[in-house]
């Protein structure tokens, strides 16, 4: 068949391989490293839209989009036009410092988090310089030749050069429920890339087999890149993001009320409109914890670094909060309750005699299958004494979680046989006879009872069991299909041992003590799982099997999941239903998965967790990666998640209560004072110094009793704390107002100075009360927090002695003011400590 003259314009899936290689300037052995580097510069990283970052300058300018910052800059500009250039420059500098501080800290936090994400970034195998190499998917370019195997993510749109039993799951793009086989066929007349059987596409994954693929399109040029905005819709907000949003709404409401109140009062008293407007805006800024995004980012990033030291790599920072809030953890038992060092201990006939025949059939099945091999396959293949040289593979029926078995069609000499291994109950159901003493016997009711008893005996002893069967077929049988898995001859059982992990009992006890329920979701039968629980000394609170779950609707399942902690013989679809049922009951659910079919459950869980040895599909779907598959590692991560959330809450509880108290005091004072209680620029300086004092909060310790239970956002709790502690703060502010007027006969400048120093001292030092639920002296703060807080208070006290203080409108207060301040400060901290302890007894969850 001759090629058309406009071949160069034909889609890549229609072109002959030779011409396609020529157009891409590549070979079946891939590219050289220098050429790949040039193409990476030309085409950019292999990333789709939404993963690229904005330029730093645009990120910095984006910080000025904050409505309060815009209003503040507008107001300061207006003051410059009215001749008050000093306020213009001072307010501009304060805003610039605040925004820059926020930007720098977030950048540092982002770089730290990105470094951790890159350490577990999905990598792929490809040919470079004629030899296999492993690189991050982002560094692959058009013309590369990538090597794919079961469990891999496809990194591009490309043409299949070679394939062996190569099946792709492309449900993300096409919605097809079943894997599609791909092969290196020529399709000059195929019009649609989604139906081209010689093509793989970015966003799909390999179910089974192996292939060599020529990368034709990468990044935004792929099919997925073209529809990324619609197909890769932004996921629903996490519990953490929802909490931040709700907190923002709470603060916005309080800000609007106070600002409107102040504007109305100042308008009523006919005060200068510009000064009143600036005061109201400064009041809004003072009430708003504008460094909250920075504190959150830094605290989460530091938490991620600490979790990395505990061998938990965080891919999505917000997941740290979800891990700390998690109250149900779902996992398989392999690798968590057991050592994941599985050994094939016995290979038995259906009636319990050792059988070399069972080992041979199990070995050839595992040896010739092309799907992702399980730990059971690895254990079988350790028996290298089995000789496979006489066997030739004809075809296979891949494993799937509904059938729970895999079949391989093999030929040896004149013999052609289908070898099947899988779940014992299914293999037994499909068998009509069994092997015994080298002969076949019919599988009647009596034999079935005896064989079932043998299987249950192995399970009770803690063995994981596979059924092994075969079926002779004729030479005219060219392919294997699911329908061939019938009228089997049961050869026997392969029995495996996976010893319980010594650390599992202590880790589970730690989860229980910290109020996290652990639920086991396993494909194994209930007898094996109960044996493991018994060896670890763990209670079984309830058991549900896959067949029972199949008969339940979602409402019935939701009613049972609370009490049950063992879910046995469940499929991946049923695992996902269990997780959704738990979430429907109001639980924050974590799920640990490492297989191809775990991706839906990892997405459904509040926090998806995988392991470094997992397949690419699972690692890509997970929020966190464990470098060790150990419950102790995860338990440490849970506590770190709670510690991180605890430090974020310190900032919020301290900031909202102190800011609300100060701003409420200002609003109240504006009713009775003949002048503003503090100048706008002084409010902004107060707010800036206060925020600087809180920068070390991410480094602070968190009390052990705070870590003893899951933590979640509670807007009612935050609001009550803000109102009650803020009222205490305002009471001392009003006492300060009285003393400044009655005792010191303060004019406007001295009043501003005295209250500035008092408000800085009280709202900064109160962190040492609010940071712990214990008494004031019973919990040690971080030294950096102590040093920073005391430094900020000292700066505020000494500022009136400087030229800068004079420019800001401050005057030197009399010496006895500081004595009165010391008494007020001690009384305030003791009062807040008493009210705080009452508040936590009254309102805090047990």
- For the cut 60, the answer to whether the pLDDT of residue 122 exceeds it is yes
pLDDT band per the 50, 70, 90 thresholds, residue 5:
very low
Fold of the domain built from segment(s) 314-339+501-637: Rossmann fold (3.40.50)
**Mean pLDDT across the chain, nearest whole number?**
83
Output the pLDDT for position 1: 30
Per-residue tokens: 37: 């580097």
Q: Terminal CA-to-CA distance of the chain, rounded, Å?
A: 79
By residue count, the chain amounts to: 846
- For the cut 90, the answer to whether the pLDDT of residue 812 exceeds it is yes
- For the cut 50, the answer to whether the pLDDT of residue 657 exceeds it is yes
Average pLDDT estimate for 166-170: 85
Average pLDDT estimate for 115-132: 77
Fold of the domain built from segment(s) 7-47+124-227: 2.70.150
> What are 717-768's pLDDT values in tens digits?
888 888 899 889 889 989 999 999 999 998 999 999 998 999 899 989 988 9
| Backbone phi and psi for residue 391, each to the nearest 5 degrees, phi listed first | -95, 145
| Highest mean pLDDT: which range of 24-33, 187-196, 215-224 | 24-33
- Residue 394: CB partners within 8 Å, gap ≥ 6? 409, 410, 411, 416, 478, 479, 480
Average pLDDT estimate for 475-488: 87
Kindly report the CA angle at 704 between 703 and 705, in degrees rounded to 5?
95
Q: Which residue has better confidence, 410 or 260?
A: 410
Pick the closest to residue 828 from 747, 699, 749, 739 (CA basis).
739
The sign one gets for the Cα dihedral 169, 480, 381, 405 is: positive
Output the pLDDT for position 538: 82
Pick the closest to residue 662 from 727, 714, 706, 584 (CA basis).
727
- For the cut 80, the answer to whether the pLDDT of residue 263 exceeds it is no
- For the cut 70, the answer to whether the pLDDT of residue 285 exceeds it is no
Output the pLDDT for position 751: 92
> What are 541-600's pLDDT values in tens digits?
999 998 899 999 999 999 999 999 999 988 888 998 999 999 988 898 999 988 767 878
Integer Cα distance of 555 and 547 in angstroms: 16
Output the pLDDT for position 640: 86
- For the cut 90, the answer to whether the pLDDT of residue 287 exceeds it is no
- Residue 835: CB partners within 8 Å, gap ≥ 6? 724, 725, 728
Pick the closest to residue 217 from 4, 44, 35, 54 (CA basis).
44
| Backbone phi and psi for residue 133, each to the nearest 5 degrees, phi listed first | -140, 165
Average pLDDT estimate for 224-232: 61
* 703 neighbors 782 (Cβ within 8 angstroms): no
Integer Cα distance of 261 and 270 in angstroms: 14
Output the pLDDT for position 613: 77
- For the cut 70, the answer to whether the pLDDT of residue 6 exceeds it is no
* 813 neighbors 753 (Cβ within 8 angstroms): yes
Residue corresponding to tokens 């073209």: 226
Percent of the chain with pLDDT over 70: 86
Q: Which residue has better confidence, 381 or 270?
A: 381
- For the cut 70, the answer to whether the pLDDT of residue 211 exceeds it is yes
CA distance readout (Å), 681 to 90, 98, 288, 289: 7, 14, 16, 17
Output the pLDDT for position 240: 66
Distance of CA 787 to the CA centre of its chain: 34
Average pLDDT estimate for 406-421: 93
Q: Residues of CATH 2.70.150.10 domain(s) within the chain? A: 7-47+124-227
> What are 435-448's pLDDT values in tens digits?
987 789 999 999 99
- Residue 826: CB partners within 8 Å, gap ≥ 6? none
Average pLDDT estimate for 29-34: 92
- For the cut 70, the answer to whether the pLDDT of residue 23 exceeds it is yes
Per-residue tokens: 636: 């440490």
- Could you write out the DSSP letters of every residue in 725-742? HHHHHHHHHHHHHHHHHH
Q: Which residue has better confidence, 602 or 776?
A: 602
- For the cut 70, the answer to whether the pLDDT of residue 38 exceeds it is yes
Q: Which residues of 428-448 are buried (b: 16+ CB within 10 A; e: fewer)?
A: bebbebbbbeeeeeebeeebb
Output the pLDDT for position 3: 35
Percent of the chain with pLDDT over 90: 32
pTM as predicted: 0.73
Q: What is the dihedral of CA 796, 802, 807, 812, to 10 degrees?
A: 70
Output the pLDDT for position 86: 63
Q: Where are the alpha helices (DSSP H) in 497-545?
A: 504-513, 526-536
> What are 658-677's pLDDT values in tens digits?
777 877 787 778 777 788 78
Integer Cα distance of 699 and 722 in angstroms: 23
Q: Residues of CATH 3.40.50.1000 domain(s) within the chain? A: 314-339+501-637
pLDDT band per the 50, 70, 90 thresholds, residue 101:
low
Output the pLDDT for position 118: 61
| The domain made up of 237-305+642-843 is a member of CATH 2.30.110.10 | no
CA distance readout (Å), 45 to 217, 231, 473, 591, 731: 12, 20, 51, 31, 59
* 143 neighbors 126 (Cβ within 8 angstroms): no
Integer Cα distance of 547 and 634 in angstroms: 31
Catalytic residue among 157, 332, 484, 594: 332
Beta-carbon-side half-sphere exposure of residue 667 (alpha carbons within 13 Å): 25
Q: Which residue has better confidence, 695 or 429?
A: 429
Catalytic status, residue 332: yes
Q: What is the dihedral of CA 255, 261, 263, 268, to 10 degrees?
A: 180
Q: What is the dihedral of CA 748, 753, 755, 759, to 10 degrees?
A: 150
Per-residue tokens: 363: 């070995």
Crossing angle between the packed helical segments 815-843 and 715-742, to the nearest 10 degrees: 160
Average pLDDT estimate for 306-312: 83
Integer Cα distance of 587 and 767 in angstroms: 32
Average pLDDT estimate for 305-313: 83
Integer Cα distance of 642 and 702 in angstroms: 9
Integer Cα distance of 283 and 678 in angstroms: 10
CATH code for the part of the protein at 343-497: 3.40.1110.10
Output the pLDDT for position 204: 87
E strand segments, 19-107: none
> What are 71-95's pLDDT values in tens digits?
557 666 766 665 667 667 766 776 7
Per-residue tokens: 258: 């106070």
| Highest mean pLDDT: which range of 648-652, 698-702, 787-791 | 787-791
State the DSSP H helix or E strand holding residue 508, giving kind and residue range, or none if neither: helix 504-513
Crossing angle between the packed helical segments 783-798 and 680-693, to the nearest 10 degrees: 160
* 316 neighbors 302 (Cβ within 8 angstroms): no
> What are 456-473's pLDDT values in tens digits?
999 888 898 999 999 999
Average pLDDT estimate for 139-168: 90
CA distance readout (Å), 350 to 298, 343, 421, 452: 61, 20, 14, 9
> What are 329-377's pLDDT values in tens digits?
998 877 778 877 788 999 999 988 899 999 999 999 999 988 767 888 9
For residue 612, give the DSSP letter.
T
């Amino acid at each position: 068949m001759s090629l058309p003259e406009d071949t160069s314009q034909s889609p890549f899936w229609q072109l002959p391989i030779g011409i396609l290689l020529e157009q891409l300037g590549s070979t079946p052995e891939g590219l050289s490293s220098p050429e790949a580097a040039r193409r990476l510069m030309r085409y950019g990283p292999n990333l789709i839209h939404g993963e690229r970052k904005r330029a730093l300058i645009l990120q910095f300018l984006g910080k000025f989009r904050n409505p309060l910052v815009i209003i503040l800059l507008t107001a300061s500009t207006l003051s410059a036009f009215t001749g008050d250039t000093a306020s213009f420059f001072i307010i501009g500098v304060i805003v610039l410092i605040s925004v820059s501080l926020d930007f720098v800290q977030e950048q540092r936090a982002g770089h730290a988090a990105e470094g951790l994400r890159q350490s577990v970034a999905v990598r792929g195998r490809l040919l470079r310089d004629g030899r296999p190499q492993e690189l991050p998917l982002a560094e692959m370019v058009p013309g590369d030749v990538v090597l794919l195997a079961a469990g891999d993510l496809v990194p591009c749109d490309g043409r299949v050069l070679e394939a062996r039993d190569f099946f792709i799951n492309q449900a993300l793009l096409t919605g097809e429920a079943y894997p599609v086989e791909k092969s290196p066929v020529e399709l000059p007349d195929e019009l649609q890339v989604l139906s081209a059987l010689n093509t793989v596409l970015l966003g799909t994954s390999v179910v089974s087999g192996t292939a060599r693929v020529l990368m034709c399109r990468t990044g935004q040029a792929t099919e997925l890149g073209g529809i990324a905005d619609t197909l890769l819709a932004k996921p629903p907000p996490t519990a953490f993001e929802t909490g931040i949003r709700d907190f923002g709404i709470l603060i916005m409401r309080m800000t609007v009320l106070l600002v409107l109140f102040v504007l109305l009062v100042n308008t009523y008293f006919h005060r200068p409109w510009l000064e009143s407007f600036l005061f109201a805006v400064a009041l809004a800024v003072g009430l708003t914890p504008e460094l909250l995004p920075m504190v959150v980012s830094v605290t989460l990033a530091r938490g991620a670094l600490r979790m990395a030291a505990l061998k938990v790599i965080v891919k999505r920072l917000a997941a740290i909060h979800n891990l700390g809030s998690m109250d149900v953890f779902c996992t398989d038992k392999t690798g968590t309750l057991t050592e994941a060092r599985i050994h094939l201990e016995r290979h038995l006939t259906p009636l319990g005699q050792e059988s070399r025949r069972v080992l041979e059939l199990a070995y050839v099945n595992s040896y010739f299958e092309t799907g992702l091999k399980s730990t059971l396959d690895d254990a079988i293949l350790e028996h290298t004494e089995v000789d496979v040289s006489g066997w030739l593979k004809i075809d296979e029926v891949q494993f799937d979680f509904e059938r729970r078995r895999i079949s391989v069609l093999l030929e040896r000499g004149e013999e052609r046989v289908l070898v099947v291994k899988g779940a014992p109950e299914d293999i037994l159901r499909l068998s009509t006879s069994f092997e015994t003493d080298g002969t076949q016997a019919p599988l009647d009711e009596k034999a079935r009872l005896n064989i079932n008893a043998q299987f249950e005996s192995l399970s009770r002893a803690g063995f994981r069991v596979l059924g092994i069967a075969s079926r002779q077929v004729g030479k005219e049988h060219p392919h294997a299909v699911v329908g061939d898995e019938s009228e089997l001859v049961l050869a026997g059982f392969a029995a495996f041992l996976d010893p319980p992990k010594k650390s599992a009992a202590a880790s589970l006890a730690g989860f229980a003590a910290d109020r996290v329920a652990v639920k086991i979701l396993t494909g194994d039968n209930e007898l094996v799982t109960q044996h493991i629980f018994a060896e670890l000394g763990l209670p079984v609170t309830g058991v549900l099997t896959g067949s029972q779950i199949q008969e339940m609707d979602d409402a019935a399942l939701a009613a049972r999941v609370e009490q049950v902690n063992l879910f046995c013989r469940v499929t991946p679809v049923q695992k996902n239903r269990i997780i959704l049922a738990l979430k429907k009951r109001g639980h924050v659910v974590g799920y640990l998965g490492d297989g191809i079919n775990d991706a839906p459950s990892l997405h459904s869980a509040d926090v998806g967790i995988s392991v470094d040895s997992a397949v690419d599909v699972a690692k890509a779907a997970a929020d966190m990666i464990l470098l060790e598959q150990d419950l102790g590692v995860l338990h440490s991560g849970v506590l770190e998640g709670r510690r991180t959330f605890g430090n974020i809450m310190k900032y919020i509880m301290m900031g909202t209560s102190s800011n609300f108290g100060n701003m409420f005091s200002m609003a109240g004072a504006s009713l009775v004072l003949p002048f503003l209680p503090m100048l706008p620029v002084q409010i902004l300086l107060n707010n800036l110094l206060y925020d600087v004092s809180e920068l070390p909060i991410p480094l602070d310790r968190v009390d052990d009793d705070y870590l003893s239970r899951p933590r979640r956002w509670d807007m009612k709790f935050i609001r009550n704390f803000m109102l009650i502690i803020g009222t205490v703060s305002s009471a001392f502010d009003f006492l300060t107002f009285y003393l400044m007027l009655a005792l010191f006969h303060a004019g406007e400048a001295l009043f501003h100075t005295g209250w500035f120093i008092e408000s800085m001292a009280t709202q900064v030092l109160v962190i040492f009360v609010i940071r712990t639920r214990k008494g004031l002296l019973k919990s040690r703060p971080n030294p950096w927090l102590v040093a920073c807080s005391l430094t900020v208070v000292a700066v505020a006290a000494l500022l009136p002695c400087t030229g800068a203080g004079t420019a800001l409108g401050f005057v030197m207060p009399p010496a006895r003011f500081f004595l009165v301040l010391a008494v007020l400060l001690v009384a305030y901290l003791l009062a807040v400590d008493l009210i705080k302890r009452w508040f936590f007894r009254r309102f805090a969850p047990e």
